[in-house]
Structure 1
């Protein structure tokens, strides 16, 4: 994500010192008790909205609520139910034959939706990749830069992004997202991972003219047009990932790679973000935190590269998956 205009430019040498200090810091060991799951929201052929668990080896989805009707049927309620719901979903998934079965849906029988559509908060972190700071010759932020989107910006992982008539500077950003699983306030860093339900992928669509040049320099309007937050394809629990802070992250525009980095470049990692944010607001199940974008965004290219109708943007994080959206 971008810097505020008022951030001053520092020397390359000072930036390199900050980069070295950041990359040398060792994140605390993640602690989580959730079973390894790929949680999805989907509709079946009848159009019924459901919660399920995705099997990456078969690409099938298990309708865990049909296996166990005590499991909440929407993601926010499921996350609010906590550990017991996670364990029940895992039992339902493990008891199912993921290739065939009465409650197993093949890809032609389901449509993936945004894994969560009604979070209380959609929080975003600016300037949170070391290489993105370097790209702009700007300092690595000492504290996270926080802004937000409205939940009404969330759309499906493979749905269209609508280009508003109000902008001529539409831009792309691939992001790793944290999804909160437990309510907390003033969370300690060493406990932070116990508040994380999992991770998903976001395309942080941005209208740069409204973000940077209009509305008094406030970022909100440029970030929160309808469909400006595709999410998905799944919420992957931490135990299902090798290391959330060492995953390849990339964005493709019409098949060409335009962003290519690794989450090991994150300045403020999950534990630090959860602890910092919860100093100011109570985090609640379903809250989404977009953790920032790596270098390569369109507004810093020469000439700038703006999205136009008909473009297809694919945002991917290794081990989680991708969202793919046509600009309409």
Structure 2
């Protein structure tokens, strides 16, 4: 299933895509796509209603109509957990040694915006950068998971994230990654939350990003150093993962930081992202 939230910021409505791609209204099933929905058999209830043909078309939730805003597919996650340097080609391109354990950082949940919302270049920024990533959404509380199978059972689905990063803030202002990851609008998410049964092989998904129409990132999750299930298992040894939490799992090579032939992002630039089977994003850069 592909869940989405559509409408003005703060007033998004829950929907699911029908077999023909038509958004169907989930308001009778849940007030929102959030941790409570994921942990309270919401997915199963939505699946049953969809199979029975009980969901009406969402006439005012039409992604094909100009001006219809698509919000992030998960509402108010408790936390966003990032994994750094998790692709072999990205580590090599930036001159970093591949990590022996996952590098973990936290992003504020209020950095999340919709997949096509504007991204603000923060004041004082000179090195704002892009990172197309596979995002994992947690569907049940997970702590001290015993194995990778238990980790797989904790996953509600997948979506696309753009882990926008200000490199000067990240690396040159005291060496604290969170400074460069936490700026307003720095986590575009969506368009859909795709359940695991609709993802053929999470370890073989293509990820691509273009800036102003020019391809700059073109990778595959095959190049992950730590796979999705390992990351979920690993994080559960250090923190409780809650329904609705989002894990962004790293980016392939092609970011501006690792390419001296490319400039960093500027106002007016346009980023376009896609991940196989998970949809597309498009953001315009504007000055804060």
Hey, which of these two has a bigger chunk of helix by percent? Answer: 1
How far off is 1:156 after superposition?
Answer: 0.9
Structure 2, gaps ≥5 residues long: none
Determine which of 116, 138, 141 is the counterpart of 2:96: 138
- CA deviation vs aligned residue, 1:183-224 (integer Å, no higher than 9, x gap): 01111222111000001101111111100101x110111111
State the secondary structure of the residue aligned to 1:220.
helix
1:49 paired to 2:20: no
> TM-score normalized by structure 1?
0.81
Correspondence 1:226-245 to 2 at 5 A: 226-245=184-203
1:92 paired to 2:49: yes
Given the superposition, is the C-alpha separation of residues 145 and 306 from structure 1 closer, same or farther in structure 2, using an over 3 Å criterion?
same
Correspondence 1:99-178 to 2 at 5 A: 102-103=57-58, 105-106=61-62, 107-108=64-65, 110-178=68-136
Q: Match for residue 63 of structure 1?
A: 25
Separation in 1, partners of 2:213, 2:278 = 19
Given the superposition, is the C-alpha separation of residues 138 and 225 from structure 1 closer, same or farther in structure 2, using an over 3 Å criterion?
closer
Is the contact made by 1:64 and 1:92 (CA closer than 8 Å) also made in structure 2? no
Q: Match for residue 281 of structure 1?
A: 239
Given the superposition, is the C-alpha separation of residues 173 and 320 from structure 1 closer, same or farther in structure 2, using an over 3 Å criterion?
same
Separation in 2, partners of 1:235, 1:220 = 25
Q: Match for residue 38 of structure 1?
A: 2
Given the superposition, is the C-alpha separation of residues 164 and 103 from structure 1 closer, same or farther in structure 2, using an over 3 Å criterion?
closer
Separation in 2, partners of 1:102, 1:159 = 25
State the secondary structure of the residue aligned to 1:242.
coil
Separation in 1, partners of 2:140, 2:96 = 35
How far off is 1:48 after superposition?
Answer: 4.6
State the secondary structure of the residue aligned to 1:162.
strand
State the secondary structure of the residue aligned to 1:91.
helix
Correspondence 1:238-277 to 2 at 5 A: 238-277=196-235
How far off is 1:95 after superposition?
Answer: 3.0
Structure 1, gaps ≥5 residues long: 1-36
Separation in 2, partners of 1:97, 1:308 = 47
Determine which of 156, 162, 165 is the counterpart of 1:206: 165
Is the contact made by 1:171 and 1:305 (CA closer than 8 Å) also made in structure 2? no
Structure with bigger gyration radius: 1
State the secondary structure of the residue aligned to 1:52.
strand
How far off is 1:77 after superposition?
Answer: 2.3
State the secondary structure of the residue aligned to 1:296.
coil
1:179 paired to 2:142: no
Is the contact made by 2:25 and 2:57 (CA closer than 8 Å) also made in structure 1? no
State the secondary structure of the residue aligned to 1:78.
helix
How far off is 1:248 after superposition?
Answer: 0.7
Separation in 1, partners of 2:217, 2:57 = 41
The root-mean-square deviation of aligned C-alpha atoms, in Å, is: 1.9
How far off is 1:140 after superposition?
Answer: 2.2
How far off is 1:175 after superposition?
Answer: 0.5
Residues matched between the structures, number: 281
